[in-house]
Amino acid sequence: MRADTPARTSARVDGDIVTVTVSMSVQWPAPIREVAAQLRHRVTDRVQAITGLTVAEVDIDVPTLLTARPSTPRVR
């Protein structure tokens, strides 16, 4: 996953139960578990508020850690 690739999200609905999958990059050195927990909570709240369905699971995949690139070359 490249730095400019947007996050991808999909959802599976079975009756009134939803399972959500999110794939996204995280900026290093952010605490990945904390970022994932906050996202999981927000996705659950929003999906339930908008649809009225029960979110059973939010799977989060972080395939890439983004790092800031130095503005000047390291080797000259």
Query: Taking a C-beta distance cutoff of 8 angstroms, is the pair 44, 4 a contact?
Result: no
pLDDT band of residue 2 (cuts 50, 70, 90) is: low
Using only C-alpha atoms, the chain has a radius of gyration, in whole angstroms, of: 16
- Residue 5 has a pLDDT of 73
* pTM of the entire predicted model: 0.79
User: Could you read off the pLDDT of 39-70 as tens digits, one per residue?
Assistant: 999 999 999 999 999 999 999 999 999 987 65
